[in-house]
Amino acid sequence: MTLNEGLRVGIRVRLAADLMLSAGPVTPEGDAVAGFLALAAGTEGTVERVDEHQQQSSKDVLEYERLKSLLDSFGHQMPEGSRKQLQENVAALEPVWIAHQQQGLRVTVRVRFDNGFVLDGAHAELFTPA
């Protein structure tokens, strides 16, 4: 079972790889400079939230959906030449549609680590079951 299949709020997870976080130099009041934060692989925590994000459709995917719907709804009423051209257009866009379907949902999580740090919006692939 992959983590994504069993991913839910409350389960224990472990960071699968070293993770370095930095938004560039952080300068609080004064001249003190903070660098970056590193979390070691194996750091454990608890999932607080799971978010699924729908993939954004490309222009080709939207065009495939439009043409396929047109073909399915009205193809039987179209003249032979128009229907054949529409079928060819749908067939040409089908690989893009299949690739889009295989991508599935993107899953992000909010994890509260045992050391008190919270990582939000992290890709679920960064974690393994603890």
Tens of pLDDT, residue by residue over 40-69, are: 999 999 999 999 887 788 899 999 999 999
Do residues 44 and 77 both lie within one domain? no
Do residues 81 and 122 both lie within one domain? no
Do residues 26 and 40 both lie within one domain? yes
Domain containing residue 73? 59-102
* Segment 9-49, tens digit of pLDDT: 999 999 999 998 876 655 556 555 567 788 999 999 999 99
Q: How many CA atoms lie within 13 A of 47 on its CB side?
A: 27
User: Is the pLDDT reported for residue 2 higher than 70?
Assistant: no
Rounded CA Rg of the chain:
23
**How does strand 106-113 pair with strand 44-53?**
antiparallel
Do residues 74 and 115 both lie within one domain? no
Do residues 69 and 86 both lie within one domain? yes
Do residues 84 and 111 both lie within one domain? no
How far apart are alpha carbons 85 and 68 in whole angstroms? 12
Do residues 48 and 72 both lie within one domain? no
Please give the model's pTM, rounded to 2 decimal places: 0.60
**CATH label of the domain that carries residue 16:** 2.30.30
Length of the chain: 130
Do residues 22 and 84 both lie within one domain? no
The per-residue pLDDT for 68 is: 94
Q: How many domains does the chain have?
A: 2
Please give the single-letter amino acid code of residue 70: L
* Segment 80-124, tens digit of pLDDT: 999 999 999 999 999 999 998 888 778 899 999 999 999 999 988
Query: Is 83 within 8 Å of 75 (Cβ atoms)?
Result: yes
